[in-house]
Amino acid sequence: MSDPDTISERVYAQLKEDVASGVLSIHVRLDFAELASRYDVSTTPVREAAMRLLGEGLLDLHPKGGLRPAPVGEADLIALIDLHERLTALALRWTRGADLDMSPEGAPGSADRPRQVFSALARATGNAEFVRVMARLDDRLDRYRRLEAQLLPDSADELAAIERAAASLALLGRLLRRYHRRRRSIASRVVLLALSADGAAAE
């Protein structure tokens, strides 16, 4: 018999990935029975996972009842990027003098690469709560990072440069400010890409 906690965590991870990848549209209410069939579980762990993601801001109430992936407008996305920039700046001040290793595992062009880079920076603070806060914010940004890669073909090289700059906090700070500035500049286009993908997923 499978461990209920293991099942719950697996379904939570799968539902979160379906939100981040845009498989689930903001225009369509979550169908717990359909998702249960998709994940090969009962509806109970699906409901539990959905409630967790609602609390984390990844799901929202659908206007007609039920839940849907949380819609993010241009102003919302810019606010998330601004918060992320402030947190990375705080992490840099916090880690001053620490041995900073920002060489995450994984392929340079993988979808998880930004998360790995910023998780490494968060861990360098030595503060577990800070790591959790950064991870929660990265969850909110995941979907839009995947879309922005279509508009910034050099994003993998940009992250690689950030990793290499770990030995120089001044250079790293400049690169991180540039990283966030570029993402703010394309926020409206990223949101349009997300809306287009949501429309296609709802058909």
The predicted structure's pLDDT at residue 1: 42
Judge whether 19 and 53 are in contact, CB under 8 Å: yes
Q: Please, is 8 exposed, middle or buried when counting C-beta atoms within 10 Å of its C-beta (0-12, 13-18, 19+)? A: middle
Is the pLDDT at 109 greater than 60? The verdict is no
Ranges 10-19, 33-42, 194-203: which has the least confidence: 194-203
What would the pLDDT profile of 53-79 be if each residue is shown by its tens digit?
999 999 999 988 899 999 999 999 999
What average pLDDT does range 70-96 have in this prediction?
Answer: 94
Higher pLDDT, 112 or 60: 60
b vs e for 140-177, b when ≥16 Cβ sit within 10 Å of the residue's Cβ? bbbbbbbbbbeebeebbeebbebbebbeebeebeebbe
Which architecture characterizes domain 4-71 according to CATH? Orthogonal Bundle (1.10)
CB atoms near residue 121 (< 10 Å): 24
Residue ranges per domain, the chain?
4-71, 74-192
What average pLDDT does range 84-105 have in this prediction?
Answer: 81
